[in-house]
Amino acid sequence: MNLDILAIAAHPDDIEIICGGTMIKLADRGKKTGIVDLTAGEMGTLGSAEVRLRESQEAGKIMGLSARENLHLPDSGLEITQENKLKIAAAIRKYRPQLVILPVPENQRHPDHRAASILGHDACFLAGLRKIGLDGEPHRPRKIIYAASFDDGATSFSIDITDQFERKLQAVAAYTSQFDGSEQSRQIFRPGNDIFELMQVYGRRHGMAAGCRFAETFRVKGPILLDDPFNIIPRTA
């Protein structure tokens, strides 16, 4: 299956949290979207690999994904190796996306999150090499963007997810083993914070800055080429 957009991250639930609204919005607009989870999250305190895989499939249905795959690389041992890059490159050749979404590599508490970003970036290049020794035809995505909704650094653009925000919350809530409201579950993402409250706060913060109710932010390396700057929204002057 050829996808329009492929999001790559370390664990099931990562994409839902950092850019789930955007993935839902793209699916709403008829784009074929998919996620490659690099690990099954088997080292997490809560749940198990089998449970989290089932939860990820349920979350994928809520998000309208066309495809979801888990590469079963080692959780909390996601190393930046050529072998791992080639496994991700093989998935990129399989799905042939035009756009790849990765987590930002900076300011990541979990080393797997940083590694996933670097591995995904390099895999996009390797997937386009004809002599690399991978099955399938060479393919290189047109663009990589970085989900930055929980990073306090500069961003390149925002996506209005107001109409998709409730479904984003539902997709994250599908991970009942991780986010059950217990005190232990409050130590998983930004320790001490409820994940749903955190998504509300950051979503509103980015939305207010962009001129909508809820938004997700992204970072791009290099310049952004526009065909018609007249269509930039919202009003900035």
Q: Is the pLDDT of residue 186 over 60?
A: no
Out of 133-137, 151-155, 173-177, 231-235, which region has the weakest mean confidence (pLDDT)? 231-235
Average pLDDT of the residues in 152-173: 95
Give residue 185's pLDDT.
55
**What is the side-by-side strand order in the sheet with 33-37?**
67-70, 33-37, 5-9, 99-103, 143-147, 215-219, 157-160
> Is residue 192's pLDDT more than 50?
yes
User: What are the pLDDT digits (tens) for 194-209?
Assistant: 899 999 999 999 999 9
Percent of the chain with pLDDT over 70: 92
Arithmetic mean of pLDDT over the chain: 92
HEC string for the chain: CCCCEEEEECCCCHHHHHHHHHHHHHHHCCCCEEEEECCCCCCCCCCCHHHHHHHHHHHHHHHCCCEEEECCCCCCCCCCCHHHHHHHHHHHHHHCCCEEEEECCCCCCCHHHHHHHHHHHHHHHHCCCCCCCCCCCCCCCCEEEEECCCCCCCCCEEEECHHHHHHHHHHHHCCCCCCCCCCHHHHCCCCCCCHHHHHHHHHHHHHHHHCCCCEEEEECCCCCCCCCHHHCCCCCC
Question: Any idea which fold 5-221 has?
Answer: Rossmann fold (3.40.50)
Give the global pTM: 0.93
10 Å Cβ neighbour count for 23?
30
pLDDT at 182: 64
Confidence category of residue 184, pLDDT binned at 50, 70, 90: low
pLDDT in tens, 58-90: 999 999 999 999 999 999 899 999 999 999 999
Position 94 scores a pLDDT of: 98
pLDDT above 90 as % of the chain: 76
- pLDDT tier at 180, thresholds 50, 70, 90: confident
Please determine, for residue 93, whether its predicted confidence score (pLDDT) is greater than 80. yes
Task: Judge whether residue 230 has pLDDT over 50.
Answer: yes
